Amino acid sequence: MTTTALITGATAGIGNSFARALAKQGSNLVLVARDTARLEALAADLERKYKITAEVISADLATTEGMDRVAERLTESSAPVDLLVNNAGASLARWFGSTDIADEDRQLDLLVRAPMHLMDAALKTMVGRGRGAIINVASVAAFTPRGTYSAHKAWLVNLSQWANIKYSTAGITVQALCPGFTRTEFHQRMQAEIANVPKWMWLSSDAVVRGSLRDLKKGKPISVPSLRYKVLAFLSRHAPSGLVAKIAKKGR
């Protein structure tokens, strides 16, 4: 049976890798991002290569208008979405307390409010059909206090874990995907200094997506790609309080 996946932040990085992996599997797509030209180019490329259909929704999920437009598509019963990938995201280079609070509000809308609203729309339609899946792209930063970004991701991990328990009996799987440093446009856009990040800590977005989809089939509520980050995530959650405080002082 052909499935349909809606992916936010689909034009680059992890979202783009999800789009290509799912299209290769034969899934039809609903691609969401702000850049209409890049969306349309991606849709045309995937339709040509994989003979699937790819809808395009140009939307800024940090705005109520954009968020509502995507949520409305998730409630369409005539063309149901089987998999929601909440991937759209960004971050701020400076520490909370030195940033503009208006920028923090926008981040909160993009990283918390938008996924919450889209999950709500998806769950309400998936429950009625008795099947569906949601992947919320979080981060291993969720496991260590490191500013507002990690706080937003910790919130998303917590909600995903609960939703997976609550709605599993309705045939719905909810996963929090928690990658580490991944080669995307993410750090470039936030103008972060990454020269001091060791090469061994970097992941490819394709590898992250392969791990996520593999874990989704197994029904795992948390997917941490690669053994190195599984170990780091475990240590982060069980480290002595003094070490946690030392890491937290380094900011986001």
The residues that are catalytic are 149
HEC secondary structure over the chain = CCCEEEEECCCCHHHHHHHHHHHHCCCEEEEEECCHHHHHHHHHHHHHHHCCCEEEEECCCCCHHHHHHHHHHHCCCCCCCCEEEECCCCCCCCCCCCCCHHHHHHHHHHHHHHHHHHHHHHHHHHHHHCCEEEEEECCHHHHCCCHHHHHHHHHHHHHHHHHHHHHHHHCEEEEEECCCCECCCHHHHCCCCCCCCCHHHCECHHHHHHHHHHHHHCCCCEECCCHHHHHHHHHHHHCCHHHHHHHHCCCC
DSSP-derived secondary structure for 11-24 = TSHHHHHHHHHHHH
What the block records as the tokens of 51 is 């003979």
Report residue 110 CA to chain centroid gap. 11
Bridge partner residues of 86 (DSSP)? 136
